[in-house]
Amino acid sequence: MIAEILCVGTELLMGQVLNTNAQFLSRRLSALGVSQYHQTVVGDNAERLEEAYRTALSRSDVIITTGGLGPTVDDITKRVAAKVAGKPLVVRPEAEAMVRERFAQYHREMTLNNVSQAMFTEDTQLLLNPNGTAPGAIVPMGEGKVVIHLPGPPSEMRPMFVDQVEPWLRARSGCVLVSRYIRIFGMGESMVDDRLRDLELGGNPTLSPYCSTGEVMLRATASAGTAAKAEALLEPVVREVCTRLGDVVYAVEEDDTGSLARSAVEALKRRGWTVATCESLTGGLIASTMVEVPGASEVVRGGLVTYQSVAKTMLAGVPADMIEKYNVVSAEVAAAMATGVRERLDVDIAVSATGLAGPGGGTEEIPVGTVFLGIATRGGVRTIPLHLSGSRARIRELSMKHALDAVRRTVDKE
């Protein structure tokens, strides 16, 4: 089965909206084992959209559209697909009921033009939209091919795809795919690739790397006739990957929603420890990233943002003459920051970060990218020097990730 993503909307051509839908869909399709060779964006123009449909249908089996299902004259995605299918759009009573229900729920009046959201060809399979007014649709286009219409807003598109389209695709593919998501921090993509190259040759399970700042996520996907058989193929490969990569693997999960912050918060919960932060160059980013995790309030007590030197003294009790003597970017100050906040909030573990994010201010002795982390527990304090590079934003983000990784490792091992 070959699929192809066709995003419709002039706002995409103008760069007014970042096309996260294409990435979301291609990632999910890839995990389902569905091949894709093209992605296309066209504006709200009937002639160009018709041509895009015909081109896509000539080379793919499933065309997934996003956007253009609303009630305005610009919303032409369904109308043009129906024209290409050679069938008229009619008001489908089940669809009209869906739209009416959503308007009632939002306490909004359903004006006449909104009836267009309930218009589909007679043979269209409707998709419920629990998060918006426009239903989605699976439209037969002849020769076993279909166009699948999804709404443009990601909050409507994503659950519709996961809950309704994925089961439909899975039922048609005839085989079961099972995936594991292996999360890695502290080893670059090329090194990961080097260590695993021979494992990637087999083809089942497949191993696909997904990179983000300082991190690699490996998706391992096995395909078989049953879930149990797929699991059996998957398990030894996942175990081998973990053995070869060692403790840079911080999580192995059944979905791709994990993060260093979640792993750190989960490690703290398992251990029953509380945590606090004392942040200079990260300025609250470490604490804020942990707080992103629902339920973090069980373990994250709080922290200090000690951005100016004077704040390090006023809030964390770092002696002014220590800052003078060793420099504010030093292991000594990082240790004092961590110890200071640990005592003030009476927590089991505290992490601190001081460093130079740039762009200005670097010297030969302390270049931009020099960072010291401090880790204080009830047993003592240690420091970690980092030598990072890149933009101010990257240096701050990498410092945050190293800090979360240090918390996770310390909680798990100490």
**C-alpha closest to that of 132 among 54, 56, 71:** 71
Using the rule CB under 8 A, which residue among 105, 190, 226, 308 binds a copy of itself?
308
Q: How far is the CB of 210 from a copy of itself (least distance, A)?
A: 5
Using the rule CB under 8 A, which residue among 1, 2, 17, 242 binds a copy of itself?
17
Regarding 344 and contact with a copy of itself (CB under 8 A), the answer is: yes
Nearer to a copy of itself, 81 or 276 (CB): 276
Regarding 111 and contact with a copy of itself (CB under 8 A), the answer is: no
Using the rule CB under 8 A, which residue among 86, 93, 203, 360 binds a copy of itself?
360
Single out the segment in contact with a copy of itself by CB under 8 A; choices: 13-21, 134-142, 223-231, 373-381: 13-21
Cα separation of the two ends of the chain: 50
Nearer to a copy of itself, 26 or 125 (CB): 26
> Which two tokens mark 263?
């792993």
Residues 152-181 that bind a copy of itself (CB under 8 A): 155
Regarding 281 and contact with a copy of itself (CB under 8 A), the answer is: yes
Q: How many residues bind a copy of itself (CB under 8 A)?
A: 76
Q: How far is the CB of 53 from a copy of itself (least distance, A)?
A: 13
Instruction: Measure the CA–CA gap between 329 and 200, rounded to whole angstroms.
Output: 43
Residues 48-67 that bind a copy of itself (CB under 8 A): 48, 52, 55
Contact 404, 289 (CB under 8 A): yes
**C-alpha closest to that of 74 among 11, 29, 18:** 11
Regarding 271 and contact with a copy of itself (CB under 8 A), the answer is: no
Residues 6+ apart with CB under 8 A from 280: 306, 307, 312, 328, 337, 352, 353, 354, 355
Sign of CA dihedral 224, 228, 233, 239: positive
Q: How far is the CB of 49 from a copy of itself (least distance, A)?
A: 10
Using the rule CB under 8 A, which residue among 190, 297, 363, 389 binds a copy of itself?
297
Q: How far is the CB of 98 from a copy of itself (least distance, A)?
A: 22
| 343-364: burial string, b at 16+ Cβ within 10 Å, e else | ebbebbbbbbbbbbbbeeeeee
Single out the segment in contact with a copy of itself by CB under 8 A; choices: 47-55, 70-78, 362-370, 377-385: 47-55
Nearest 5°: CA angle at 357, between 351 and 362?
125
Cis before 359 (ω within 30): yes
